[in-house]
Structure 1
Amino acid sequence: MIAKKVTRKWEKLPGKNSFCCDGRVMMARQKGVFYLTLFLITGTCALFFAFECPYLAVHLSAAVPVCAVILFLFVMAMLLRTSFSDPGVLPRALPEEASFIEMEIEAANGSVPAGQRPPPRIRNVQINNQIVKLKYCYTCKIFRPPRASHCSICDNCVDRFDHHCPWVGNCVGKRNYRYFYLFTLSLSLLTIYIFTFDIVHVTLRSVFYGSVWCVAALTLPSTVVEVLVCFFTLWSVVGLTGFHTYLISLNQTTNEDIKGSWSGKNRVQNPYSHKNIVKNCCEVLCGPTYPSVLDRRGVMLESSGSTPCKTSDVTAATANTVTPNEVAFFSLQKTTSPLIPNEHSPDEAPPSIATTGHDTATSIPEEEDATGPNGSAPKAPPTTILVKESSH
C-alpha cells in the first residue's frame, strides 16, 4: 500500500518566500546578497585566525584568538537566527473572509456616486489617546494591525515591519528585530576587534632601522585584505548600529522614521514610546518571544483548500503573548469573518473595543493603499472604529 504524501502548510503559503528543512527555515527568494554577507564575514575571520592569531597568541596573549572565536560564533548565530526565522508574516484572509469584508464595508458605507473616487479603506483606532490608521491591504485582504506593512519584495504583510534587509536575506519585523540588532552590534564589535589587532600585528612585526619604520604588512597580503575589508565595513556597520540604537531608544521603526510618522511637523507624538529610554529598550530587546501565526509545518487538511491559515486563527495562537491592542485588532478581524458568528449586522456600526497598555504604532501608507491591485480605485469608503484605552 502506497503511503499518501503529507502536505505541509508552508508548501501552500502565498508570497515570495523560500523554505528549507521542511519549512523550518524561512527566507526571501532573493538570497544573493546574504551569501555575500556570509562570505565576507567567514572569509575575513578565516584570514585573521590563520595568519594573525598564531603570532598574537605567542607574542601578546592567548586570549586574543579566544575572544575572536566567541565574537565570531555569536555574530553567526545572530545572523542565521535573523535570516532563517519568520519575521512576523501575517496570514492572508480566506476567500470567504475577504468576500464578507467586502460585503460588510459596502453595506456599512453605501454605494459611491458615479464619477467620484472612493476614499481609501481605513479604520481608525485610538491608542494612548492617539488616533492611528489601519490600512487595508488589497493583496492580503485584511486591515493591517498597527505598525504592520506590506513588503513588496516578499509580498507579505509583516507585523511591526522595520525594513527588508537584503544583507540578511529576510524581512526585519516583530519576531526577529532584536536578533537583527544584536547581529549588527556584535558585527561592529567583531570588525573593530579584528581591525585593532591587525594594526597591533603590523606594529609588532615592524622593524625600526635608524629613523625609518619598515612595515612588515607589505609582505602579508592577508593582513592588507583584512584591514581594507574592516575599514570599509566599519563605517557602515557601526553607523547602522548607532541608527538602530537611536530608534530603539524612541521605540520607533525604520519605516516610521523614513515616513516621518511621528515627526513634529505632523504634530503627532509616538503613542508607543514610554517617554523613557530604558523602558523603550527593555520593551524592544527584552520583551516576550512572539510565536509564529503561520504554523508552517502544520499538516494541510483536504477540505482546507489552498490557503493554509486564516485570519481568525491568529487570535487563539497569540492570545497569551501579543500586546492588548493587538488582541483587540485581531478580535476586530474576527468579527468580520463569516466562519465565526457575527454579533452585529452589516448595517450596524462596528463595536468599540477596550484595550490597555502600550502597543505598536501606525502602519505606513503604501502605494497599494490608494489604488486597487490593478491600478483601479478602491471600492468603498473607510470604516471608522475607535479602540479606546482603558485606565491601568
Structure 2
Amino acid sequence: MSAVMITRKVRKWEKLPGKNTFCCDGRVMMARQKGVFYLTLFLIIGTCSLFFAFECPYLAVHLSPAIPVFAVLLFLFVMAMLLRTSFSDPGVLPRALPEEATFIEMEIEAANGNVPAGQRPPPRIRNVQINNQIVKLKYCYTCKIFRPPRASHCSICDNCVDRFDHHCPWVGNCVGKRNYRYFYLFTLSLSLLTIYIFTFDIVHVVMRSVDNGFLNTLKETPGTVLEVLVCFFTLWSVVGLTGFHTYLISLNQTTNEDIKGSWSGKNRVQNPYSHKNIVKNCCEVLCGPTYPSVLDRRGLMQEDSPVSAASAAPSSSSSNSSSSNPVPQTTVSTHTHTHTHTQTLYPPLHTF
C-alpha cells in the first residue's frame, strides 16, 4: 500500500533534544520539573501581598509614604530577575550532528589505536592552554562533543551547559553562562526584600504595641505574625546563598568547580580564569558581554509526516482544482515505502 509524505514546516524548538519545556513558540525555555518554581512564586507574591495589605497602609500614614513605594519597586525588580533567570536559555550547547559525531569518533580511535580486549580504553580528553594553565576538555557521551572549558552536562535537563554553575529547582532552570548574573541579582534583591519586609514588620508591631499592647497587637495583626515567621526562616537561606555566590564571584569560580575542588585540590592547580583581583572578577562576571544563544530555537525546518493515501487524496485533488491559490509550504509525494527526513537543528560543524 502506497504512503503519502506531507512536508510541513515546524519550529526547531519542537525537535530539540534534552528534557526542557518550551512556551510562547520557543521564546521561553525551562526545565520540565517546575514544581518548586511555582512554590517560589507563591512565597514571594504571597508574602509581599500580605505586607502591602496589612503593614503598608499603617506605615505610610504613621511613618512615611516612601515605604510602600520602595517595597513595590524592589518587588518588581525581584520578579523581573526571577523570570529572566527562569525563562532564558542558560547556555545550552548543541549536540553534534551525526556526521560530526562520526568524525570525532574516528579521530578518537585514530589517536588511541587498537585497545586490547578486556582493557578499558583511555579517557576521552583534550588539553587546551588557558592563561598558561593546562585545562582538560572532557568528552560528553550523550552530546557527542568535547565540552568547552567550564561546561558540564546537567543530568536533570539532559543537556551540556556552558559555564555550568548548578541546576536550581527554585528557579526551574539551570544556571549557566547566559543567566548567572540574573540569578545572582535575583538572590541579592530577594535578600534585600526579605530584610526590608522583616524589618518593617517588627517596626509595625512595635508602633502598634505602644498604644494597644504587645499581645493585643499580635491578635489584631495575624498577617504580620505569618510574615515574620516566613521572613525569619527564609532570611537565613537566602542571605547565606547570596553570600556564598558573592564569594564565588570574587574568585571568578562556579558552584560546580567549588564542589569538585577544581582549583583547590591536592595538585594546587591555580584558577586560570581568575584575575587575582576581586574588582576585576566581579566586573567580568556581572558586567561582561551578554552572550547570544547558540540554539536556533525559533528557526524553521521541514518535516515529512506520513499519511495514508486515502486521507491525502481529497486534499491532493482540491489543490489541483484550486491552482489559483497554491500552498508552497506543503509538498505531497507518493512513495512505496515510508521514510522520515528532518533538517538539521543546528548550524553545520561547530568547533570549540
Structure-1-length-normalised TM-score: 0.77
Partner residue in 1 for 2:293: 292
Indicate the RMSD between aligned Cα atoms, in angstroms. Answer: 1.7
User: Are the aligned partners of 1:98 and 1:141 in contact in 2 as well (CA < 8 Å)?
Assistant: yes
User: Are the aligned partners of 1:203 and 1:215 in contact in 2 as well (CA < 8 Å)?
Assistant: no
User: Are the aligned partners of 1:25 and 1:85 in contact in 2 as well (CA < 8 Å)?
Assistant: yes
Letter in 2 for 1:309: Y
SS of corresponding position for 1:300: strand
Partner residue in 1 for 2:169: 166
Partner residue in 2 for 1:251: 252
Q: By how many angstroms is 1:214 displaced?
A: 4.3
Q: By how many angstroms is 1:251 displaced?
A: 0.1
What is the distance in 2 between the residues matched to 1:199 and 1:4? 65
User: Are the aligned partners of 2:302 and 2:343 in contact in 1 as well (CA < 8 Å)?
Assistant: no
Alignment of 1:1-392 (within 5 A): 5-207=8-210, 213-214=214-215, 216-301=217-302, 305=342, 307-310=344-347, 312-313=349-350, 330=351, 333=352
Partner residue in 2 for 1:348: none
Larger Rg: 2
User: Are the aligned partners of 1:137 and 1:143 in contact in 2 as well (CA < 8 Å)?
Assistant: yes
Distance 1:262 1:307, change over 3 A: same
Letter in 1 for 2:240: G
User: Are the aligned partners of 2:7 and 2:302 in contact in 1 as well (CA < 8 Å)?
Assistant: no
What is the distance in 1 between the residues matched to 2:347 and 2:193? 43
What is the distance in 1 between the residues matched to 2:293 and 2:110? 34
After TM superposition, the structure 1 stretch with the greater mean CA deviation from structure 2, 264-273 or 222-231, is: 264-273
SS of corresponding position for 2:10: coil
Q: By how many angstroms is 1:310 displaced?
A: 4.5
User: Are the aligned partners of 1:88 and 1:292 in contact in 2 as well (CA < 8 Å)?
Assistant: yes
SS of corresponding position for 1:37: helix
User: Are the aligned partners of 1:18 and 1:26 in contact in 2 as well (CA < 8 Å)?
Assistant: yes
What is the distance in 2 between the residues matched to 1:179 and 1:41? 17
Letter in 1 for 2:41: L
Partner residue in 2 for 1:389: none
Q: By how many angstroms is 1:244 displaced?
A: 0.1
What is the distance in 1 between the residues matched to 2:117 and 2:46? 63
Q: By how many angstroms is 1:277 displaced?
A: 0.2
Letter in 1 for 2:243: G
Q: By how many angstroms is 1:267 displaced?
A: 1.1
Distance 1:311 1:138, change over 3 A: farther
Letter in 2 for 1:236: S
Structure-2-length-normalised TM-score: 0.85
Q: By how many angstroms is 1:104 displaced?
A: 1.7
What is the distance in 2 between the residues matched to 1:238 and 1:44? 17
- Deviations along 1:160-219, one digit per CA (max 9) or x if unpaired, are 00000000000000000000000000000000000000000001111368xx75450232
What is the distance in 1 between the residues matched to 2:348 and 2:267? 33
User: Are the aligned partners of 1:202 and 1:215 in contact in 2 as well (CA < 8 Å)?
Assistant: no
What is the distance in 1 between the residues matched to 2:342 and 2:80? 37
**How many equivalent pairs are there?**
311
Distance 1:215 1:251, change over 3 A: farther
What is the distance in 1 between the residues matched to 2:129 and 2:43? 46
- Deviations along 1:19-38, one digit per CA (max 9) or x if unpaired, are 00000000000000000000
Q: By how many angstroms is 1:120 displaced?
A: 1.2
Gaps of 5+ in 2: 1-5, 305-340
What is the distance in 1 between the residues matched to 2:70 and 2:294? 38
The alignment-based identity, stated in percent, is 86
Letter in 1 for 2:232: F
What is the distance in 2 between the residues matched to 1:134 and 1:47? 50
Q: By how many angstroms is 1:234 displaced?
A: 0.1
Higher strand fraction: Structure 1 or Structure 2? 2
After TM superposition, the structure 1 stretch with the greater mean CA deviation from structure 2, 261-270 or 150-159, is: 261-270
